[in-house]
């Protein structure tokens, strides 16, 4: 079994300009993520950080992140800050280090708009800080409401039930909440059921993204499919490695359902040309 590698490091910067839709800046308090989702596009970070450990088996803690932010924010033009883009700001190590909370307190002092995206109900710990922002939204990502799917693909993340309960608590506190339906796994993600639940919870927005295997995650994902869902293996190869209209049909289903439910949705689908090789 691979050992988990934890390092406390000094970072050179923390408030980074963003190329992501809807965000001006991103803050990643940690390098790596304990949630260890095998489909995570952030695995590309290993090429940058030179980590040799498997994704999910290392985390670097940016110990000086609060001091850096206090310095950098004074020079930054006000804009929306996303927590986070290549880690989960509320993965289990946040319980110990409280970096995310300390960063939020600094962002609050300067009233920078924030957006949090997480798979953890730990975010409810910081409701007292979050509700004092003039502009704040918290999103929860789901690939499914089935906890077995979570165990297979998101082994360390909070259960879907806990995430849904956290959404309720945040809504009750008057905090804007959105849902990120993704990555959508063919035949595993129950799109209609999830959209209906999000409507019941009163989410302010739903984002939808399909499974993107182009980050080099296909071997890990397909290994789980073959082991746990062998009946889907051939269909997954067809969807991802032959020319077909599967995702066009899924997108149409989403648009039809959100229109029926009167939900706001933003669809971020990867309709890339099919590949004859497995990335």
Q: Give the pLDDT confidence of 195-244 residue by residue, as tens digits.
A: 999 999 999 999 999 998 877 889 999 999 999 999 999 999 999 999 99
Parallel/antiparallel/unpaired status of strands 176-184 and 81-83: unpaired
Segments of the chain scoring below 70 in pLDDT = 1-2, 44-47, 271-279
pLDDT at 251: 95
Q: What is the pLDDT of residue 270?
A: 73
Nearest-angstrom CA–CA distance, 255 and 208: 10
**d(Cα 201, Cα 115) in Å, to the nearest integer?**
19
Spatial CB neighbours of 151, under 8 Å, sequence gap ≥ 6 = none
Q: At what angle are helices 191-201 and 246-261 packed, to 10 degrees?
A: 30
Query: What local confidence, expressed as pLDDT, does residue 48 receive?
Result: 73
CA distance 179 to 118: 10
State the Cα–Cα distance between residues 43 and 73, nearest whole angstrom: 28
Q: What is the pLDDT of residue 271?
A: 54
The confidence score (pLDDT) of residue 274 equals 38
pLDDT at position 2: 62
């Amino acid at each position: 079994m691979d050992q988990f590698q934890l390092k406390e490091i000094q970072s050179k910067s923390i408030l980074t300009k963003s190329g992501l839709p809807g965000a001006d800046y991103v803050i990643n308090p940690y390098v790596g993520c304990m949630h260890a989702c095998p489909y995570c596009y952030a695995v590309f970070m290993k090429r940058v950080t030179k980590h040799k450990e498997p994704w999910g088996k290392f985390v670097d803690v940016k110990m000086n992140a609060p001091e850096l932010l206090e310095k950098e924010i004074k020079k930054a033009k006000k804009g929306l800050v996303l927590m986070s883009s290549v880690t989960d700001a509320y993965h289990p190590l946040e319980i110990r280090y409280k970096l995310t909370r300390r960063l939020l307190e600094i962002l609050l002092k300067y009233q920078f708009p924030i957006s949090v995206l997480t798979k953890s109900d730990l975010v409810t710990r910081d409701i007292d800080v979050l509700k004092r922002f003039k502009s704040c939204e918290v999103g929860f990502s789901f690939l499914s409401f089935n906890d077995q799917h979570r165990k297979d693909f998101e082994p360390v993340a909070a259960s879907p039930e806990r995430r849904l309960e956290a959404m309720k608590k945040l809504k009750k506190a008057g905090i804007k909440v959105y849902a990120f339906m993704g990555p959508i796994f063919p035949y595993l993600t129950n799109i209609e059921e999830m959209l209906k639940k999000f409507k019941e919870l009163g989410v302010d927005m739903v984002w939808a993204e399909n499974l993107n295997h182009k980050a080099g995650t296909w071997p890990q994902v397909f290994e789980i499919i073959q082991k746990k869902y062998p009946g889907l293996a051939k269909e997954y190869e067809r969807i991802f490695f032959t020319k077909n209209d599967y995702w066009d049909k899924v997108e149409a289903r989403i648009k039809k359902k959100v229109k029926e439910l009167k939900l706001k949705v933003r669809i971020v689908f990867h309709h890339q040309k099919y590949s004859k090789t497995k990335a």
